[in-house]
Structure 1
Amino acid sequence: MNKYRVIASVHEGGVWEQRFKALEQAIKNAYGIVDPNASVSVVWQRIPAGQAYLAGEPSTTSTVVPPVPVDIKQEIREQFMHAVCQEWMEITGCSVNEIIVNAMNEDMVAKYMQISQGRLSKSKAKSRFALMFITALLKKWLRGYTSFNINLKS
């Protein structure tokens, strides 16, 4: 069974947290197009108000990065991204311009995560990862989903 960790970035506030479970299920359902036996987990990155802009205005756009197999056919990738977008818009009421799905090859996602972690010194990276991990586990235990604020304090 292949395991996929999806990163979803959403803006704090609004009704997001009440919809996380429905959105997670929609993403898991869409993976049936890519890999019917997939084990999927979603990690929610909460972006504080005023920390993301689009066209010079505060952004309401969400970004979903679901990794896909390297050898996936483009037609399947597009069907998958379309399914995620459609479900996301239905659940949240957002417009087509407020959801970005970037179905990157899983090897590229791994490389991206490695580079991202390399931005911090090793001592800070360890403490930030530990804090992120503890925060995510607490959210999962208390609320039923894994999430963290992008501005972790070390």
Structure 2
Amino acid sequence: MKKILASIQQGQFDQSQLQRLEALLISSYQQHVSNDKTIVVWCEIPPGQAYTAYQPSQSSLITMECPTGFEQQRRVVFLQSLAEQWMAITKQHPDYVLLSLMEEDLFNQFVRSNQKRLSAVGKVRFVLHMLRSFIRSKRRNDLFRFNPNL
């Protein structure tokens, strides 16, 4: 299963926008990158915890994995297309949208590096936190989203 991590500001988008964005991410990814099953994980940053240019952030950071050796021209076409469609839905300024398509090994290294900074107890707490978020999302038939605070 391929993974997309979308970090956004909590409350930045309404439910309709989030659903359209998730559909966009999955369909664009499957059209341009891989037909593999894809999951989008939404990380909602609480207010006051992210700033851009000394102001409360309105930035979105979307990190996606792709096969090793993914062709650069295909990467550019995909990211440009996705950026245009994302901004059409969100009305965000291009300076506040960061899209990244990382090869699988680098994506996994990125995820592991975030986990390395946690203690053993912290890792357990984080896994339980993620599981609770996932179960809650499934029960509500909602997007898979979590707050990064434990």
TM-score, structure 1 as length reference: 0.90
- Tell me the equivalent position of 2:116: 118
RMSD: 1.4
2:3 aligned partner, one-letter code: R
Report percent identity of matched pairs. 28
Equivalent-residue separation in structure 2 for 1:47 and 1:28 (angstroms)? 22
Q: Deviations over 1:71-119 (max 9, x none)?
A: 1111011111112211211111212122110111111110111121111
- Tell me the equivalent position of 2:102: 104
Q: Name stretches of at least 5 consecutive residues in structure 1 with no aligned partner.
A: none
Equivalent-residue separation in structure 2 for 1:101 and 1:14 (angstroms)? 17
Q: Name stretches of at least 5 consecutive residues in structure 2 with no aligned partner.
A: none
Equivalent-residue separation in structure 1 for 2:46 and 2:131 (angstroms)? 19
Number of residue equivalences: 149
- Tell me the equivalent position of 2:21: 23
Q: Which runs of 4+ in 1 moved over 6 A?
A: none
Aligned in 2, Cα 1:143/1:92: closer, same or farther, shift over 3 Å?
farther
SS in 1 for 2:38: strand
- Tell me the equivalent position of 1:13: 11
- Tell me the equivalent position of 2:144: 146
Equivalent-residue separation in structure 2 for 1:130 and 1:82 (angstroms)? 36
1:34 matched to 2:33? yes
- Tell me the equivalent position of 1:71: 69
1:64 aligned partner, one-letter code: I
SS in 2 for 1:15: coil
Q: Aligned-pair distance for 1:130?
A: 0.9
Q: Does structure 2 conserve the Cα–Cα contact (< 8 Å) formed by 1:10 and 1:16?
A: no
TM-score, structure 2 as length reference: 0.92
